[in-house]
C-alpha cells in the first residue's frame, strides 16, 4: 500500500486520538526504521522509550518466537514458569519482594495506587487514602492515573476524576503543606518526562525519602519511562541514593511488547490478596520471555556504563549545537530547548529528513534505543543540526 492509502484507511477506521507525523513505518532493524515508501529513518524515539534493544534484536526475537511456539497465553488462574522467572529476576536485581504484572505503565501505576490505599486503610483506618503527587507530573491516561497527574492540561473533558489526590511543588515546604493526617503515599517521577524532561533535585529527593520514612508514608516512584537502563542505571532512583517502597515500570521492560510491573518492598508483599487486583493479559508468557531477554542484556553493569557514556556524549554534542539553547536529562533520556524553532516544527523537519524525534512541552525529547552506537548518534544529530539551523 502507498502512504496515502494507509493514511486514508487510518482516517476511516481508527479514532482520531493521535496527532501523527506523515510517516507509516513498516519494518526496522537496530536503530533504523523503514517506511511504506522505502525511506529509512534513524530513530531517536524507541517508540517512546519502548524499543530498548532497538528494532528486531536477534536474541529478543528468538526468545519471543520460541515462547510463542510453545505457549502464547495462559490465564493467571494457573502458574506460569516464565512469569515466575521474570518476577524473581526483577525482584532479585532491585531488592524488592513481590511484583504484579500488567500491560502498561498506567496499569502498573493503578496497582501502586491501590496497594498504597489498601496499606493505608489496613494500617490507619478507612479514610487513610490520600496521595500526594507533583505538579507537572504524568502518571497515565486512565481516569485514576489522570487524577494522579499534576497537569491541568490533562484534567479536561473526563470529570469526575477519582478523588484523593493533591499536587505539590517539588520542594519540601510544598510537600509538607500537601500532606495531611490521611496521607498514605507520595508518588513521584525521578525525571518528569511528559512534563518536559525535568529531573528532580537530588537534595529534595533525599529529604523526601527521609520524611516519608519517618511518617510511614509510602514513597512510590513511577519509572515507566526512566526505568530499565534509560538513565544509565537499571532504575533511575539508583542515581539518587534512595530505596522506594513501590516502583512501577513498563515501556522498555518488554522490548516492544506491552508490559507493566509494580514492585513492592517486603512489608507490602501481602497487602493485596486474591481477587483484589488482576489482569487478563498481565504476565503473558510471550511478553515475559521478551522482558527476560531485555534484562539479560540491559542489567549488566558494563551495558549500563555504556549507556551513561553515550548519554554524556549525546548531551555534549547536543549542547554545542547551534540553535540549541539548553539541554537537560540523564543518560539516554534528554530534552533540548531550541532557540529559534518550536519543538513541533523541528520534529516535523527532522522526520522529513530521516530522523524520528519526540517532543515534550516546548522541548525536543530524545529516547534513542539503548544499543545506539556513536556513528548513529552523530548521523542523527547531523540531521537535527540541519533541521534547526
Please give the chain's pLDDT, 389 residues, in tens: 999 999 999 999 999 999 999 999 999 999 999 999 999 999 999 999 999 999 999 999 999 999 999 999 999 999 999 999 999 999 999 999 999 999 999 999 999 999 999 999 999 999 999 999 999 999 999 999 999 999 998 998 999 999 999 999 999 999 999 999 999 999 999 999 999 999 999 999 999 999 999 999 999 999 999 999 999 999 999 999 999 999 999 999 999 999 999 999 999 999 999 999 999 999 999 999 999 999 999 999 999 999 999 999 999 999 999 999 999 999 999 999 999 999 999 999 999 999 999 999 999 999 999 999 999 999 999 999 999 98
Statement to judge: residues 102 and 165 lie in one domain? yes
Statement to judge: residues 9 and 52 lie in one domain? yes
**Considering 261, 282, 298, which residue would you say is the last residue of a domain?**
298
Query: Does residue 65 belong to any structural domain of this protein?
Result: no
Q: What angle do the packed helices 81-94 and 285-298 form, to 10 degrees?
A: 30
Strand (E) positions, the chain? 25-29, 32-35, 40-43, 98-102, 130-134, 165-168, 183-188, 191-192, 198-199, 218-222, 246-249, 260-264, 324-330, 333-338, 355-356, 358-360, 363-366
Question: Hey, what's the cell of 303?
Answer: 551495558
The binding site for N(2)-acetyl-L-ornithine consists of 141, 279
**Considering 298, 324, 345, which residue would you say is the last residue of a domain?**
298
Closest by Cα among 304, 269, 191 to 237: 191
Statement to judge: residues 44 and 115 lie in one domain? no
pTM higher than 0.95, yes or no? yes
- Could you report the per-residue pLDDT of 258-310, keeping only the tens digit for each? 999 999 999 999 999 999 999 999 999 999 999 999 999 999 999 999 999 99
The binding site consists of 105-106, 138, 141, 222-225, 279-280
Statement to judge: residues 209 and 291 lie in one domain? yes
Statement to judge: residues 135 and 88 lie in one domain? yes
Based on the structure, what is the number of domains in the chain?
Answer: 2
The predicted structure's pLDDT at residue 389:
86
The binding site for pyridoxal 5'-phosphate consists of 105-106, 138, 222-225, 280
Statement to judge: residues 119 and 134 lie in one domain? yes
Residue 339 is part of a domain; what is its CATH number? 3.90.1150.10
- Sequence-distant (6+) residues with CB within 8 A of 305 are 232
- Could you report the per-residue pLDDT of 123-168, keeping only the tens digit for each? 999 999 999 999 999 999 999 999 999 999 899 899 999 999 999 9
Statement to judge: residues 323 and 235 lie in one domain? no
Query: Does residue 64 belong to any structural domain of this protein?
Result: no
**Residue 174 is part of which domain span?**
71-298
Residue 216 is part of a domain; what is its CATH number? 3.40.640.10
Strands 218-222 and 198-199: unpaired
Query: Does residue 62 belong to any structural domain of this protein?
Result: no
- Sequence-distant (6+) residues with CB within 8 A of 345 are none
On whether the CB atoms of residues 242 and 209 are closer than 8 A, the answer is: yes
Amino acid at each position: 500500500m502507498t502512504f496515502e492509502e494507509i493514511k486514508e484507511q487510518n482516517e476511516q477506521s481508527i479514532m482520531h486520538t493521535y496527532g501523527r507525523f506523515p510517516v507509516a513505518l513498516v519494518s526496522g532493524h537496530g536503530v533504523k526504521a523503514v517506511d511504506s515508501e522505502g525511506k529509512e529513518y534513524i530513530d531517536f524515539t524507541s517508540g517512546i522509550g519502548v524499543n530498548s534493544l532497538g528494532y528486531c534484536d536477534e536474541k529478543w526475537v528468538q526468545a519471543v518466537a520460541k515462547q510463542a511456539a510453545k505457549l502464547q497465553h495462559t490465564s493467571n488462574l494457573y502458574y506460569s514458569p516464565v512469569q515466575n522467572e521474570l518476577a524473581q529476576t526483577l525482584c532479585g536485581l532491585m531488592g524488592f519482594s513481590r511484583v504484579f504484572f500488567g500491560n502498561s505503565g498506567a496499569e502498573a501505576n493503578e496497582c501502586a495506587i491501590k496497594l498504597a490505599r489498601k496499606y493505608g486503610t489496613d494500617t490507619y483506618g478507612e479514610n487513610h487514602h490520600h496521595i500526594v503527587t507533583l505538579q507537572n507530573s504524568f502518571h497515565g491516561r486512565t481516569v485514576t492515573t489522570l487524577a494522579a497527574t499534576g497537569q491541568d492540561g490533562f484534567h479536561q473533558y473526563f470529570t469526575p476524576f477519582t478523588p484523593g489526590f493533591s499536587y505539590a511543588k517539588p520542594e519540601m515546604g510544598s510537600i509538607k503543606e500537601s500532606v495531611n493526617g490521611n496521607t498514605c503515599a507520595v508518588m513521584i517521577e525521578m525525571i518528569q518526562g511528559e512534563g518536559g524532561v525535568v529531573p528532580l533535585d537530588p537534595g529534595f529527593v533525599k529529604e523526601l525519602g527521609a520524611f516519608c520514612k519517618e511518617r510511614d508514608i509510602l514513597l512510590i516512584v513511577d519509572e515507566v519511562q526512566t526505568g530499565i537502563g534509560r538513565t544509565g542505571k537499571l532504575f533511575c532512583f539508583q542515581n539518587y541514593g534512595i530505596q522506594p517502597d513501590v516502583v512501577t515500570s513498563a515501556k522498555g521492560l518488554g522490548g516492544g511488547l506491552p508490559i507493566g510491573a509494580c514492585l513492592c518492598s517486603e512489608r507490602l508483599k501481602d497487602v493485596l490478596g486474591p481477587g483484589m487486583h488482576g489482569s487478563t493479559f498481565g504476565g503473558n508468557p510471550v511478553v515475559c520471555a521478551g522482558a527476560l531477554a531485555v534484562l539479560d542484556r540491559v542489567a549488566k553493569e558494563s551495558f549500563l556504563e555504556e549507556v551513561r557514556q553515550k548519554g554524556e556524549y549525546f548531551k555534549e554534542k547536543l549542547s554545542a549545537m547551534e540553535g540549541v539553547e539548553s539541554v537537560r536529562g540523564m543518560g539516554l533520556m534528554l530534552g533540548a530547548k531550541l532557540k529559534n524553532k518550536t519543538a513541533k516544527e523541528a520534529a516535523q523537519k527532522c522526520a522529513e529528513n530521516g530522523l524520528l524525534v519526540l517532543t515534550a512541552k516546548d522541548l525536543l525529547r530524545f529516547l534513542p534505543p539503548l544499543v545506539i552506537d556513536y556513528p548513529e548518534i552523530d548521523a542523527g544529530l547531523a540531521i537535527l543540526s540541519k533541521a534547526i539551523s
